[in-house]
Structure 1
Amino acid sequence: MQHQPTTTAVADRGEAFPADLSRQIKARFHHVDHDFMGRERLFFENAGGSLRLKAALEAVAKVDAVPDSAERIHEVAAWLKQVQARGTDDVRLLLNASGGTVHASLTASGAMFDMVRAVAENVPGDNIVTTVLEHPSSYDAAAHYAQQLGKELRVAPSNRVTGGIDVEEIVRLVDERTCVLVVIYASNISGAKLDLEQIVRRAREVKPDLYVIVDAVQHAPHGLIDLQKTPVDGINIAPYKFFGCRGSGFSWLSDRAAVLPHHRLAGKRPDFWDLGSAAPWQFAVMTEIVDYVCWIGGQAGGGRDRRALFARGMERIGLHERALLARLLEGSGRVPGLRHIPGVTVLLDHDDLSRRDLILAIALEGLEHAQAVREYEKRGVIVYERVASSLYSGRMLNSLGLEGAVRVSPLHCHTFDDVDRFLEVTRDICAGSW
């Protein structure tokens, strides 16, 4: 479904980084302009993978090379403990979370299943509420434990204009017998951000002690999370989507959620969730991510408070990405935007860019989506198809009335020049040169 933008267009088109700052940012990442074999390319598939900070990989190499166990009493072990403590503090800082438990896992998906299980199995209620746009790790966890425990699964439908979920559609499903609400922060198909603050507030007006678990994996690299404004009981992030490394997931659980029965060693604290020896490099990577965002925040000058610097950095990232999104849609004097290239349909094209992360779904006339992806790759551009046959996107696409899409997902380390190159390639493909 294509939405025709109104004459008001986009009132807030963001604010791009100054050119010098953009050059510095790009230099801090691996493989922005070339792949690992040195071939020139654009990586616009950050919703599936993510460009990596050089400092994050350096932290892995340094910390993981240390053979010592952090559980010992030696000097190096004490240093590893400090690495873990600093990374734990930085997870809390990133989320603006106080108290509770930080849980390090192999994947964010695994942690989501564990959090949903702990609440579903131990909190009274005969129904579980979620949305049709959830990642499979959230939706399937909710569905599995609803079926296993004999609870009703209630699923909020999508909005085919905005590509998101209306607050009212979620709240109307919540009642005094709801066990848990499982909800995504932003769609990984359309980029639409859900109004989490309103969802949490209004759902708890219906049931004040409602447990809420949030999948923030897709949204975290694009926008600020503030658990003081959205007091949930569980939330997960994936460092590899946040400029970090694969093989790591982090979650935070509220005080009451953390002490629910869960898998743990009997000798550990009731609120301890990690199983086995920690991998200190996971925590070192989180610190590098937070350091980097704080560095961006500090470019405007002033202030030493780490959370304030981080918040300013994420705000600047969001504004730059909004400027990139506006450029993708409207183009410039150099090249027309996706809304104006013959043969391109911008799917779920909603006007208010402040309600969208930097993800676009498009269709190219005369090209099956996978074929379009291959045509982009021939021209040095990496995007990805989302199709109804995929377990990762079928449910969401069907709810939005789409058979598939080409998903375009740049990152803040990209520039207007990168966007213009993508638009030129798109125009070339649509001109039928394939």
Structure 2
Amino acid sequence: MSSNQGQLFSDSVMAQIKERFHFVDRDIDGRERLFFDNAGGSFRLKAASAAFANIDALPDCPERIHERALYLQDIQDRGEADVRHMLNARGGSVYFSLTASAAMFEMVRAVMEHVPGGNAVTTILEHPSSFDALSLYCERTGRALRVAPSNPETGGVDADAIIALIDEDTTLLSVMYASNISGAKLDIAAIVERARAKKPDLFIIVDAVQHAPHAVIDLQKTPVDGINFAPYKFFGCRGSGVSWLSQRLAELPHHRLQAKEKGVWELGSPAPAQFAVVSAILDYVAWVGAQFSDAEDRRERFVQGMQRIESHERALLTLMLDGVGTQRGLRAMNGVQVYWDHDDLAQRDLIVGIGFDGLEPTAAVREYEQRGVIVYERIGASLYSGRMLRSFNLEGAVRISPLHCHSPDDIARFLAVTEEVAAIR
């Protein structure tokens, strides 16, 4: 395969990867199952689940002086350091919250209530946690909300469309790294550079929840003020959202305990188990990187691992679109429409949206489940989908989101099932 088409893991590495996750090939009841809804919550690393269970079982409070408390403090310190390794973040503040959505609302509020300006900019494809947060605080602060439109061909938002809305009076730019509807990546590096050229002190917050499990993020190349991700979509556990805030954002007025430093956003007792989950995620990705690199630096091994994950997923995307052996791909199937399809696979995460002739998305999802395949219906009535779908003039789509721990055989099986579903009239 060409670099644009990615490169698959070897069979031996693939087998080791699958072994590190729960329930990749079979459900909890032992039945064979293809779980292709990882954008809604990914497969769990066995090490992450074990780390959470082991640490969360301890009754000790880390805010004490005894031995076990110090042990928990070390876990937190390592987890915070690993967040910085993941993002290549320096300075600023790491913030663990209940959800990534909650943190997004808090970051938007801090900027909108305390930074001057007359407008805020976002895109039509944002997750409700960022779009609704910006809408709410534009209304509360009397600012204009400027929304960049989607590109129906790519499934993303063009950088030009975003930059055209920014001026010297813009308070905040809130933008996602990649769409969880279409999988289209936004050119964050270009957007940040061009936005700051128009307004050097512009605050920028990025929603990386969809994109973080699929490619390298480097805040030294994309210097934003706030960014978040969700461990449960990144091979980890539910129950936390992780954010990094620049120093100037972290020190804006926010809900905090007065005795703590201005840049601290943590409220209440920390949850060391959630920090342990992040370290388990980084350990795993670094292990992937170590299969291909002798790098000793933890960040570099993580980067190598994410690059290999991205390349394998691009190869899976190629197979899904063009076929596996004699099995036809989605592009060649009768009765199937592939949405937002274009040839530059480097600009897409491993998400595909499709439609069926004569079968609406919800019914198609049920047919998939009867055949042992889990996918997700994106429909106009959903608060998580409607605004985005309307921007594409679509009423619905079936979202397919495998993960790097899937193999070409898994893709072939999925495609065979899809042909069966497409034959239903």
- TM bucket (normalised to shorter chain) is over 0.9
Q: Secondary structure at the match of 1:20?
A: helix
Q: 1:247 aligns to what?
A: 239
Q: Is the 8 A contact 1:10 1:351 kept in 2?
A: no
Post-superposition CA distance 1:316-363 (Å, at most 9, x none): 000000000000000032300000111111011111000000000001
Q: Is the 8 A contact 2:324 2:411 kept in 1?
A: no
TM-score where L is the length of structure 1: 0.97
Q: Is the 8 A contact 1:113 1:138 kept in 2?
A: yes
Q: 2:215 aligns to what?
A: 223
Q: 1:3 aligns to what?
A: none
Post-superposition CA distance 1:361-398 (Å, at most 9, x none): 00111111000000000000000100111000100111
- How many pairs align? 425
Counterpart of 1:332, as a letter, is V
Q: 2:160 aligns to what?
A: 168
Post-superposition CA distance 1:122-165 (Å, at most 9, x none): 00101010000000000000000000100000000001110000
2:374 corresponds to 1:394: no
Post-superposition CA distance 1:187-210 (Å, at most 9, x none): 001100000000000001000000
2:69 corresponds to 1:77: yes
Q: 1:239 to 1:14 in 2, by over 3 A?
A: same
- 5+ residue gaps in structure 2? none
Counterpart of 1:225, as a letter, is I
Q: 2:334 aligns to what?
A: 342
Q: How does 1:65-214 map to 2 (within 5 A)?
A: 65-214=57-206
Out of 25, 39, 50, the residue aligned to residue 33 of structure 1 is 25
Counterpart of 1:211, as a letter, is F
Counterpart of 1:364, as a letter, is F
- CA distance in 1 between counterparts of 2:421 and 2:126 reads 32
**The 10-residue stretch of structure 1 (201-210 or 33-42) with the greater mean CA deviation from structure 2:** 33-42
Out of 305, 314, 325, the residue aligned to residue 322 of structure 1 is 314
- CA distance in 2 between counterparts of 1:287 and 1:405 reads 35
Q: Is the 8 A contact 2:293 2:301 kept in 1?
A: no
- CA distance in 2 between counterparts of 1:366 and 1:36 reads 33
% identical aligned pairs: 62
Q: Is the 8 A contact 2:104 2:133 kept in 1?
A: yes
Q: Is the 8 A contact 1:10 1:352 kept in 2?
A: no
Q: How does 1:8-47 map to 2 (within 5 A)?
A: 12-47=4-39
Q: 1:6 aligns to what?
A: none
Q: 2:226 aligns to what?
A: 234
Q: 1:288 aligns to what?
A: 280
2:47 corresponds to 1:55: yes
Q: Is the 8 A contact 1:10 1:353 kept in 2?
A: no
Counterpart of 1:149, as a letter, is T
Post-superposition CA distance 1:100-132 (Å, at most 9, x none): 000000000000000000000000101010000
Q: Secondary structure at the match of 1:199?
A: helix
